[in-house]
Amino acid sequence: MTNVLFDTLFGKHTGQQTPFLMMQDGSVLSHADFLAMASRFAHAITQSGLGPGDRLAAQTEKSPQALALYAACVQAGIIFLPLNTAYTAGELAYFIEDSGAGLVVCDGAKAETIREICAKTQTQVETLNGDGTGTLSGAAAKYSEPFRTAPRTEDDLAAFLYTSGTTGRSKGAMLTQGNLLSNALTLADYWQFDASDVLLHALPVFHTHGLFVATNVMLASGGAMIFLPRFDQDRMIELLPRATALMGVPTFYTRLLGDARFTRELTSHMRLFISGSAPLLADTHVQFEERTGHRILERYGMTETNMNTSNPYHGDRRAGTVGFPLPGVEVIVTDPATGGRLGPDTVGQIEVRGPNVFRGYWQMPEKTAAELRENGFFITGDLGKFDADGYLHIVGRDKDLIISGGYNIYPKEIELVLDAQPGVLESAVIGVPHTDFGETVLGLIVAEKGATPDLDQIAETTAGQLARFKHPRRLVLIDELPRNTMGKVQKNLLRDAYADYFATA
């Protein structure tokens, strides 16, 4: 019996000495070296008592070792739970307890705090630092023999990715081996990656974009990655001549366009620029093509499904659209009230069905039943339409989701913090356009009668309770929130009123 994900993406590179990870200091890790590292980690985490189906939570800085930890979990059949490095102690406590993680791997600087959290659940803690050192690396170094890969089928779970919820409670999306494998193979073929490609990888590896899209596609194709710890404009420009492809969020492209060194000559050898995780402004498309001669390929995906659609590799990549459904993936637009399919140029809710669609939400059967239909279609919560040529347009998002710099943010979680602050009667959090991040968070506050809330103090308190990417970029005092006859806050009116706020603020 095989381990379908490991054998297809990782195992086929056994003994392969071609480069896989190329570091900014000039060092290179071959495919074989990477697999040997993963094997050692697999030994270490299984010796800690974890086995197939158990959960491992990782909040680590980006490094080859952090990536090898993901590979080790796949090889050992352990469900991998990557956590944003910006999450606070309160957020981590929920994820660790809800997932039932048997082991948490974290940066050494956070170990004391995380051990305090894990004392309640008696969860083990190991460290893995950004430089590759740590207690887990020390334990792994004791092993030299190959790890015997755990058999797993396409239906076995491979990962949990937590998404935000409108009630403030995050949901653990359960992704199977088949979900991850099908998407990787489809994207590698659709975007025509092969072993000659070198991907400039500056995305985080706790997010589906950097981990399950970028990394898995390069494993599927046998290519290499220039592995940057984070987006660094100077290093990106310096290393672009060594790459053939770049996957990024809109922020990458707006910042590169703001640099005079980013020229047609610098990008002349590049094969492909891909953007996702947030909408790309049409102006950015135009400016990019004028500057470089390349047209960015925009695609559409989400935590629960990985990638759903893509603009074509060959053909018209249309600004303002996310292209066509990927091979094997069905995408429909339906009436939210009836569930009936809608025709071209009619806005409705976007639903997706295919081998990429997740199993459901961990320990949330009601939520799963509400969003995952019996016929296999997943109600994404996004609003969109198909045009007459079959291109999908995303026109809005249900449930007031904000996507800023590629990160999903639900306002309710932030509003709960703001509402609890001294002098605050109520609040509304909205996403407004921002050139660099696509959208950014704006907090609107209504004061209690006779009170004058201290906005600076509220911002400081919020910063201590929420991950940085969730922080409101600005807090604004207003007299009242607009409501409809049922008393519901009309956030659409607020978004319209403040649409140009950061263009003029």
Question: Does position 273 have pLDDT exceeding 50, yes or no?
Answer: yes
What is the distance between the alpha carbons of residues 60 and 199, in angstroms, rounded to a whole number? 22
Same domain, 358 and 271: yes
What is the distance between the alpha carbons of residues 215 and 206, in angstroms, rounded to a whole number? 11
- Show the domain range for 239: 231-400
Question: Does position 144 have pLDDT exceeding 90, yes or no?
Answer: yes
- Give percent of the chain with pLDDT exceeding 70: 97
Same domain, 341 and 392: yes
Give me the CATH number covering residue 489.
Answer: 3.30.300.30
Same domain, 166 and 251: no
Number of domains in the chain: 3
Q: What is the structure's pLDDT at 488?
A: 65
Question: Does position 468 have pLDDT exceeding 70, yes or no?
Answer: yes
What confidence category does residue 167 fall into, taking pLDDT thresholds of 50, 70 and 90?
A: very low
What confidence category does residue 409 fall into, taking pLDDT thresholds of 50, 70 and 90?
A: confident
50 vs 57, 94, 184, 283, 447, CA distance in Å?
A: 12, 20, 27, 50, 51
Q: What is the structure's pLDDT at 166?
A: 41
Same domain, 35 and 11: yes
Sheet holding 348-353, edge to edge: 330-334, 348-353, 378-386, 392-397
Q: What is the mean pLDDT of residues 238-267?
A: 94
Picking from 368, 385, 400, the residue at the C-terminal end of a domain is 400
Q: What is the structure's pLDDT at 257?
A: 95
Same domain, 434 and 381: no
Residues 6 or more apart whose Cβ sits within 8 Å of residue 345: 385, 386, 387, 388
Question: Does position 143 have pLDDT exceeding 50, yes or no?
Answer: yes
Q: Which residue is it, tokens 């249309």?
A: 318
Domain assignment present for 407: yes
Q: What is the structure's pLDDT at 83?
A: 95
Same domain, 446 and 380: no
pLDDT digits (tens, 9 = 90+) for 85-102: 989 898 899 999 999 999
pLDDT digits (tens, 9 = 90+) for 425-454: 889 999 999 888 889 999 999 998 899 999
What is the distance between the alpha carbons of residues 471 and 463, in angstroms, rounded to a whole number? 6
Q: What is the structure's pLDDT at 505?
A: 57
Same domain, 375 and 284: yes
What confidence category does residue 485 fall into, taking pLDDT thresholds of 50, 70 and 90?
A: very low
Q: What is the structure's pLDDT at 8?
A: 97
Using left for φ > 0, alpha for ψ between -120 and 50, and beta otherwise, residue 158 falls in: alpha
What confidence category does residue 168 fall into, taking pLDDT thresholds of 50, 70 and 90?
A: low
Q: What is the structure's pLDDT at 236?
A: 96
Question: Does position 223 have pLDDT exceeding 80, yes or no?
Answer: yes
What is the distance between the alpha carbons of residues 500 and 503, in angstroms, rounded to a whole number? 5
Same domain, 110 and 125: yes
Q: What is the structure's pLDDT at 399?
A: 67
Picking from 400, 428, 456, the residue at the C-terminal end of a domain is 400
Domain assignment present for 319: yes
483 has which bridge partners? 489
Domain assignment present for 462: yes
Same domain, 154 and 11: yes
Domain assignment present for 283: yes
Q: Which helix (H) or strand (E) holds 234?
A: helix 233-239
Same domain, 133 and 156: yes
What confidence category does residue 486 fall into, taking pLDDT thresholds of 50, 70 and 90?
A: very low
Question: Does position 408 have pLDDT exceeding 60, yes or no?
Answer: yes
Give me the CATH number covering residue 366.
Answer: 3.40.50.12780
Question: Does position 362 have pLDDT exceeding 50, yes or no?
Answer: yes
What confidence category does residue 396 fall into, taking pLDDT thresholds of 50, 70 and 90?
A: low
Q: What is the structure's pLDDT at 164?
A: 60
140 versus 502: which is more confidently predicted?
A: 140
pLDDT digits (tens, 9 = 90+) for 111-142: 999 999 999 899 999 999 999 999 999 999 99
Q: What is the mean pLDDT of residues 163-167?
A: 56
Q: What is the structure's pLDDT at 280?
A: 81
Q: What is the structure's pLDDT at 489?
A: 79
Picking from 369, 400, 431, the residue at the C-terminal end of a domain is 400
Chain mean pLDDT for the chain: 93
Hey, what amino acid is at 268? S
What's the whole-model pTM score? 0.84
Q: What is the structure's pLDDT at 60?
A: 97
Same domain, 387 and 407: no
